[in-house]
Amino acid sequence: MTKKLLQEAILDRPLLCDGAMGTQLMLAGLEQGNCGEAWNLSHPERVLGIQRRYVEAGSECLLTNTFGGSRIMLTRHGEGDHVVAINKAGVEIARRAFGDSDGYVIGDIGPFGGLMEPYGDFTEARVRSAFEEQAAALVEGGADAIIVETQTSLEELLIGIESAQKAGAPCIIGSMAYDVTLDGSTFRTMMGIEPERAAEFMEQHGAHIVALNCGTRMDMVRALTAVERYKSVTRLPVMVQPNAGQPKLVNMKVVYDETPEQMVKDLPPMLVAGANIVGACCGSTPDHIRAFRKTMDEFMESKGIALERSRA
């Protein structure tokens, strides 16, 4: 039986994604400031171990370890000649992590890490070339979808979406990073983009799923509001990956302050609101995802939704 496209599968029931990669890599020995994506080649077993723990916790979707996998980002670490190898390895490792289960591998494209002209020094052509190269490698590697994530401007988001389209990605997800305003009344991206505008823009330009991740003070409650605001303007499915609370400096290390038990209590209202894929971002762990799995299963049982996991 042919596996459904991701954007079709999530219409049957909500799927569980994974949690943070960056903080897990650091726990596995990656030094602050070093290139975690290069570990796809130099330490693949450590990356595999992290992703296997997420699968064991219940993840049905895995983001590849390629957040900073564009040529622009990798060149800063002296890894620019390994773009294709790093991205293809990221897909292969995630696929191995699923073992016999027929999960979804989502190729991860993060921001290029700068500003385009006229605000910065990067030309649109350079950014487009970098995103097209990365997207092509992820699709050639066999990714089920591409997520263009942690975006704050519509210009960069569009280049990412168009690059994924050019590569022939079976499913394209656009994910914005929102910051809560100082007075706490609303949230928007660093470049001033409201969620309604982002959702309309993504639907207009051919994305299959609208999403949000990360962001300052974007906890589960705020993420619920984002889902509701997305749903008010688009019929596209919604993906949500909030942080595990807020970062704090403890003994010279950044830690996030929301436990799995605290985070998961706000999950049922998000599922009721219609979130189609739920995961977590910065600071989250396999323990957070395990708590999500239990709550999601209980929610689906209460709604009479089949819980069978598909098998390859």
265's tokens: 């209590």
pLDDT single digits (tens) 68-123:
999 999 999 999 999 999 999 999 999 999 998 899 999 999 999 999 999 899 99
Report the alpha-carbon angle 206-215-53, nearest 5. 85
State the pLDDT confidence band at 1, using cuts at 50, 70 and 90: low
pTM above 0.75, yes or no: yes
Q: Would you state the pLDDT for residue 310?
A: 39
Fold (CATH) for 6-303: TIM Barrel (3.20.20)
d(CA 157, CA 174): 7
More confident residue, 290 or 2: 290
pLDDT digits 0-9 by tens, 205-261? 999 999 999 888 888 999 999 999 999 999 999 999 998 877 776 776 677 778 999
Residue 168 CA: distances (Å) to CA of 48, 69, 110, 204, 302: 26, 18, 18, 18, 38
pLDDT digits (tens, 9 = 90+) for 49-66: 999 999 999 999 999 999
